[in-house]
């Protein structure tokens, strides 16, 4: 009879392995899989590859416009007024309809550019299902306020004259009317300190480095709309694989979809880009497209190459920082 109190023999390693259950499919996943995914995630404070490609498009447009202006027979033959930073405005002498400052897009779109940008943004923010809560819309409004503040500081007002006007005067620029009146003893040193005041007095900026305010507006506004609309549409239509990274409150770096959508996913299935854009996004895309077209026209027919490039570099550096917001 077997002794019930006999000591159990220790099992060998091979016997223990034989009694273990076979590995399941999910146990075979390499431990480096998560680290590989994290390694591919873009740093939260740097533009993504897609954003870098879009940013590179702006100097390419300016370069193309400058080259076209240099080799086009019509543009080269047209008289150019260096003080007005434009070609002759007479319809018979202007190299193109868009070389004239009275073209319809310049009057009703560029001159009121930030109003169009603002309307397009809020139409998208208030109608697209991706921004379906007050918190998301409030965050979007804050981003718009930050970009709008930069636009005001650079082109409209910066605790006095705008940054563009200050830069023009710091580089030696003056208003022709102010120069004459000061020489005659009838004008003050600060009478025409801004471009608007100079123009209202019937004068013109002379000398100095006149940065293109149109370039600033068109680049800043179009990229802002692309940032706000593009990521939403691309995610809904599954157009790109990459994703913006964000820093959470606890310091963890995660994909922007974690904050943008409940539980990082949405229930709707979108099959087309137009459906992903929605009516508000389509309107914003059209406004961004018009900005791109008028940027090209500005590059071809207005301002010197140095003025356009200098402001383009300034805008690109600003936009690169705004992508972190």
The residue ranges of DSSP E strands in 23-116, in sequence order, are 80-81, 86-87
What is the per-residue pLDDT for 50? 84
Q: How many CB atoms lie within 10 A of CB 201?
A: 16
The two beta strands, 80-81 and 86-87, are antiparallel
Structural domain harbouring 59:
55-155+210-322
Residue 14 pLDDT class (50, 70, 90 cuts): low
| pLDDT beyond 70 at 22 | no
Number of domains in the chain: 1
| 3 assigned to some structural domain | no
285 part of a folded domain: yes
Domain presence at residue 137: yes
Residue with structure tokens 């694989």? 241
Q: With 60 as the cut, is the pLDDT of residue 38 above it?
A: no
Joined tokens for residue 117: 């940008």
Task: Give me the pLDDT at residue 252, please.
Answer: 74
- Share of residues in the chain with pLDDT > 70 (%): 66
Residues 178-215 have pLDDT tens digits of 544 444 444 444 444 566 677 666 667 666 666 778 88
pLDDT score, position 23: 47
Minimal CA–CA distance to 303: which of 164, 112, 150? Answer: 164
Return the DSSP state at 245: E
- The whole-number pLDDT of residue 177 equals 66
Q: Residue 206: beta bridge partners?
A: 174
Q: Does residue 16 lie in a domain region? A: no
- Say how far residue 269 (Cα) sits from the centre of its chain: 28
Are the C-beta atoms of 168 and 213 separated by less than 8 Å?
A: no
pLDDT above 70 (res 231): yes
Both tokens assigned to 290: 């018009």
- Does a structural domain hold residue 165? no
pLDDT of 281 strictly over 70: yes
Give mean pLDDT, residues 50-74. 86
| Residue 81 DSSP one-character state | E
């Amino acid at each position: 009879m077997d002794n019930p109190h006999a000591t159990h023999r220790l099992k060998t390693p091979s016997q223990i392995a034989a009694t273990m259950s076979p590995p399941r499919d999910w146990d075979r996943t390499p431990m480096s899989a998560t680290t590989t995914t994290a390694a591919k995630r873009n740093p939260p404070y740097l533009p993504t590859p897609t954003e870098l490609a879009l940013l590179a498009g702006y100097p390419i447009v300016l370069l193309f416009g400058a080259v076209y202006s240099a080799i086009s027979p019509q543009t080269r033959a047209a008289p150019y007024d260096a003080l007005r930073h434009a070609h002759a405005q007479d319809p018979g002498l202007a190299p193109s309809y868009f070389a004239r400052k009275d073209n319809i897009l310049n009057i009703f779109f560029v001159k009121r550019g930030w109003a169009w940008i603002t309307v397009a943004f809020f139409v998208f923010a208030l109608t697209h299902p991706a921004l379906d809560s007050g918190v998301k819309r409030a965050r979007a409004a804050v981003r718009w306020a930050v970009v709008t503040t930069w636009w005001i500081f650079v082109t409209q007002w910066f605790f006095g004259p705008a940054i563009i006007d200050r830069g023009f005067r710091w580089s030696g620029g003056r208003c022709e009317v102010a120069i004459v009146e000061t020489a005659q003893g009838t004008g003050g040193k600060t009478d025409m300190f801004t471009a608007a005041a100079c123009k209202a007095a019937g004068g013109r900026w002379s000398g100095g480095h006149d940065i293109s305010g149109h370039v600033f507006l068109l680049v800043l506004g179009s990229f802002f709309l692309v940032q706000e609309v593009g990521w939403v549409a691309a995610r809904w239509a599954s157009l790109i694989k990459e994703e913006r990274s964000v820093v959470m409150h606890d310091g963890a770096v995660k994909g922007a979809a974690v904050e943008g959508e409940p539980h990082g996913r949405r229930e709707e299935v979108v099959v087309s880009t137009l459906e992903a854009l929605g009516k508000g996004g389509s309107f914003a895309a059209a406004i961004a497209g018009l900005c791109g077209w008028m940027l090209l026209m500005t590059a071809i027919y207005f301002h010197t190459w140095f003025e356009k490039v200098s402001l383009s570099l300034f805008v690109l550096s600003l936009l690169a920082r705004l992508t972190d917001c």
